[in-house]
């Protein structure tokens, strides 16, 4: 009887520990969403783009692109999903942001008129989220091919 009570208490203790660890890991994964809510406004519809390894998240809201407001505005922040810290943030008019690879985001700033001899790559910045160094997409592609 004593062993049965001991086994029951032990299994309950292990079960509670397992649930506690699961809830802690779920809490840390949702911390970055709370940071995004506070930075972008909880009332806005926030969209998330995860990096390939889910270490970082692009959190953004988009306004406009309607007949009343034809120019779209994207407000964004790039967050470290483990710490919830903000790595990059900004506001784009007629632009977009997306992942290029696990550590680089590409930010497209679409101009009203593209100059002769230029392509959209000349208006696309590639930013390393760790170092915050930025180059044009053309320069990035040239460095990758070397």
Instruction: Tell me the DSSP string of 92-103.
Output: EESEEEEESSSS
Question: HSE (CB half, 13 Å, CA atoms) of 112?
Answer: 2
Q: What is the pTM of this model?
A: 0.73
DSSP state letter for 114:
P
- Please check whether residue 96 is in contact with residue 108, taking contact to mean a CB–CB distance below 8 angstroms: yes
Residues 6+ apart with CB under 8 A from 48: 33, 36, 57, 58, 59
Distance of CA 106 to the CA centre of its chain: 12
Q: Say whether 57 sits in a helix, a strand or coil.
A: strand
Predicted confidence at residue 30, as pLDDT, reads 61
Task: Say how far apart CA 88 and CA 56 lie, in whole Å.
Answer: 11
Task: Say how far apart CA 64 and CA 93 lie, in whole Å.
Answer: 10
Predicted confidence at residue 145, as pLDDT, reads 77
- Please check whether residue 128 is in contact with residue 137, taking contact to mean a CB–CB distance below 8 angstroms: no
Phi, psi at residue 111, to the nearest 5°? Answer: -80, 165
Q: Which residues of the chain have pLDDT under 50?
A: 1, 3-10, 12-28
Q: Say whether 70 sits in a helix, a strand or coil.
A: coil
DSSP state letter for 72:
-
């Amino acid at each position: 009887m004593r062993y049965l009570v001991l086994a029951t208490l032990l299994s309950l203790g292990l079960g509670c520990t397992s649930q506690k660890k699961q809830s802690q890991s779920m809490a840390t994964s949702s911390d970055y969403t709370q940071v995004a809510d506070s930075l972008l406004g909880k009332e806005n519809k926030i969209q998330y783009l995860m990096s390939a390894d889910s270490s970082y998240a692009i959190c953004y809201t988009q306004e406009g692109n309607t007949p009343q407001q034809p120019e779209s505005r994207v407000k964004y922040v790039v967050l470290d999903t483990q710490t919830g810290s903000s790595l990059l943030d900004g506001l784009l008019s007629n632009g977009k942001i997306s992942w290029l690879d696990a550590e680089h985001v590409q930010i497209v700033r679409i101009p009203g008129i593209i100059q002769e001899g230029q392509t959209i790559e000349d208006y696309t910045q590639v930013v390393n989220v760790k170092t915050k160094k930025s180059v044009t997409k053309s320069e990035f592609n040239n460095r990758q091919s070397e």
